[in-house]
């Protein structure tokens, strides 16, 4: 198989994070710095720990992904970004209360040196937060131009060869797709006209990133790069984009359990999910507008996997409810309960109950690392537009308009690894050998 022509991962890779002072971002940065010092292990990261089978089964070749795929080295990552609060990342990491003091102190100097740039912020899109470190500008277009200048300056100041931009900030209020999102011309006109009803802050970041030739990763369920205008922009500048909404806890379990029910042809009557969490994300999601954005993302999973139109007897009338409750005492330690009412042979009912006591940022941090490295890889491969091979990492995976999204975690995993095999010129696996 012909190998993809991949540009070398030479020089420094800038990682610009929107919401760099948040719990996910600070945990990701602290962990990465700790790993490259040899203090911690990158548990949860496919790029650092996972193997990939090459060739036939009887060849018994299982090298680590990082040993055969031309990824950027962790030592070449340079962190920066924007936040609505001014504190440096050492202070932000302490404030997040995810990591122990000992784990933070060993990389204190590097964290303290990372200072956020002022953010593009509009409280109408995140009702529960009050940003104090924010940009001012006459229009959304002006603010986007300031972000572009930030990217250029960061790249020059840090002598980066390449930059990846990642959204790890809060969930914005729900907005439907409108005519201003249907073409690049209409979108740019709305930016210049300062149409705050349809142009969110996250869209400003996405536009700035893509226009500067930097891959953009959307880690929240916001309407942002999943619109025709952004696809057109990404095609124009030949930039890789991916999203949306990191798949970490309860939804990750759904993408495992729902395929299990379907592969065994077990029926489903209802699926009730509820969560408690107390970090900044929980506070933001306490607002109904932001919750609706998250709810749409979480609800989309089951229908797509179970195909109720194909299996109406099994899944044609499923009652699916999702709840998220802000509970400050839990801080970043999220808990998700699922009650699943199953129908079996001769219509007899059964139940499955799951209680996942997880740590939100601990699960999300290795996803951030993998996505940064894979988005950079995609860009160096000349891949542009929607990178649906990265669906493995997202609750609501973006997909090309003529495709049905794939939510099954294990199929997503196979697609990801087969894409890596194509990149290095190895045959893809069909598991019939």
Give the strand order in the sheet containing 117-118: 117-118, 77-83, 12-18, 160-167, 216-218, 240-243, 385-386
| DSSP, res 134 | B
Residues 6+ apart with CB under 8 A from 30: 89, 93, 99, 103, 104, 107, 111
409's enclosing H/E stretch is: helix 409-423
The predicted structure's pLDDT at residue 286? 67
The answer to whether 302 and 258 are in contact (CB under 8 A) is yes
| β-pair type (319-326, 267-277) | parallel
Q: Can the peptide bond before residue 244 be classed as cis, meaning omega within 30 degrees of 0?
A: yes
The predicted structure's pLDDT at residue 278? 82
Beta-sheet strands, E only, within 168-266? 216-218, 240-243
The answer to whether 8 and 80 are in contact (CB under 8 A) is no
pLDDT digits (tens, 9 = 90+) for 352-372: 999 999 999 999 999 999 999
The predicted structure's pLDDT at residue 57? 85
d(C-alpha 290, C-alpha 276), whole Å: 16
Instruction: Report the length, in residues, of the chain.
Output: 433
Buried residues in 214-249 as b, exposed as e (16+ CB within 10 A): bbbbbbbbbbbbbbebbbbbbeeeebbbbbbbbbbb
The predicted structure's pLDDT at residue 355? 96
Q: What stretches of 1-121 show up as alpha helix (H) in DSSP?
A: 23-36, 46-49, 65-68, 89-96, 101-105, 108-112
The answer to whether 282 and 327 are in contact (CB under 8 A) is yes
- Dihedral sign of CA atoms 254, 257, 260, 261 in order: negative
Phi-psi region of 19 (alpha: psi -120 to 50; beta: other; left: phi over 0): left
Q: How many CB atoms lie within 10 A of CB 28?
A: 25
d(C-alpha 119, C-alpha 144), whole Å: 11
Phi, psi (5° rounding) for residue 97?
55, 40
Please give the model's pTM, rounded to 2 decimal places. 0.94
The predicted structure's pLDDT at residue 432? 67
Q: Where are the domains of the chain?
A: 12-246+362-423, 250-357
Residues 6+ apart with CB under 8 A from 344: 266, 267, 350
Residues in the chain, pLDDT under 70: 1, 282-283, 285-287, 289-291, 293-295, 297-299, 432-433
Q: How many CB atoms lie within 10 A of CB 197?
A: 10
- The CATH class given to the 250-357 domain equals alpha beta
- Pick from 278, 275, 281: which is nearest to 336 by CA? 275
| DSSP, res 254 | H
- Pick from 306, 368, 349: which is nearest to 19 by CA? 368
d(C-alpha 433, C-alpha 418), whole Å: 15
d(C-alpha 226, C-alpha 242), whole Å: 9
Residue with the two structure tokens 């969930």: 171
CATH superfamily of 12-246+362-423: NAD(P)-binding Rossmann-like Domain (3.40.50.720)
The predicted structure's pLDDT at residue 297? 62
Distances (CA, A) of 369 to 43, 48, 364: 11, 9, 9
Q: What stretches of 85-176 show up as alpha helix (H) in DSSP?
A: 89-96, 101-105, 108-112, 140-157
Helix (H, G, I), strand (E, B) or coil at 199: coil
- Pick from 246, 196, 242, 254: which is nearest to 221 by CA? 246
d(C-alpha 417, C-alpha 422), whole Å: 9
Residue with the two structure tokens 């300056």: 153
């Amino acid at each position: 198989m012909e190998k993809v022509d991949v540009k070398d991962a030479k020089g420094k890779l800038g990682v610009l994070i929107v919401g760099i002072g948040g719990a996910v971002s600070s945990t990701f940065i602290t962990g990465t710095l700790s790993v490259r010092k040899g203090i911690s292990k990158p548990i949860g990261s496919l790029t650092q720990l996972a193997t990939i089978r090459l060739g036939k089964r009887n060849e018994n070749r299982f090298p680590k992904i990082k040993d055969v795929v031309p990824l950027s080295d962790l030592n070449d990552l340079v962190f920066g970004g924007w936040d609505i609060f001014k504190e440096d990342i050492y202070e932000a990491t302490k404030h997040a209360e995810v990591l122990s003091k000992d784990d933070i102190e060993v990389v204190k100097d590097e964290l303290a040196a990372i200072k956020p740039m002022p953010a593009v912020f509009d409280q109408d899109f995140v009702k529960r937060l009050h940003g104090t470190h924010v940009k001012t500008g006459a229009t959304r277009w002006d603010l986007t131009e300031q972000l572009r200048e930030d990217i250029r300056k960061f790249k020059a100041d840090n002598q980066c060869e390449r930059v990846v931009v990642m959204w790890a900030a809060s969930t914005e209020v729900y907005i439907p797709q409108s005519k201003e999102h249907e073409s690049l011309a209409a979108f740019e006109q709305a930016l210049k006209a300062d149409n705050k009803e349809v142009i969110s802050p996250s869209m400003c970041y996405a536009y700035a990133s893509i226009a500067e030739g930097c891959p953009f990763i959307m880690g929240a369920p916001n309407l942002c790069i999943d619109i025709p205008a952004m696809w057109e922009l990404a095609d124009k500048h030949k930039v890789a984009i991916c999203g949306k909404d990191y798949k970490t806890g309860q939804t990750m379990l759904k993408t495992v359990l729902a395929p299990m029910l379907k592969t065994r042809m077990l029926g489903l009557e209802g699926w009730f999910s509820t969560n408690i969490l107390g970090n900044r994300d929980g506070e933001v999601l306490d607002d109904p507008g932001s919750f609706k954005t998250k709810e749409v993302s979480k609800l989309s999973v089951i229908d797509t996997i179970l195909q109720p139109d194909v299996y109406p007897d099994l899944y044609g009338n499923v009652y699916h409810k999702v709840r998220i409750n802000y509970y400050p005492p839990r801080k970043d330690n999220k808990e998700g309960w699922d009650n699943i009412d199953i129908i079996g042979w001769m219509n007899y009912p059964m139940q499955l109950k799951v209680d996942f006591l997880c740590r939100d940022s601990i699960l999300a941090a290795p996803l951030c690392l993998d996505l940064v490295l894979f988005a950079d890889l995609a860009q160096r491969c000349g891949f542009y537009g929607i990178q649906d091979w990265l669906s493995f990492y997202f609750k609501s995976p973006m997909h090309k308009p003529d495709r049905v999204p794939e939510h099954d975690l294990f199929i997503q995993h196979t697609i990801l690894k087969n894409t890596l095999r194509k990149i290095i010129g190895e045959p893809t696996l069909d598991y019939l050998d």
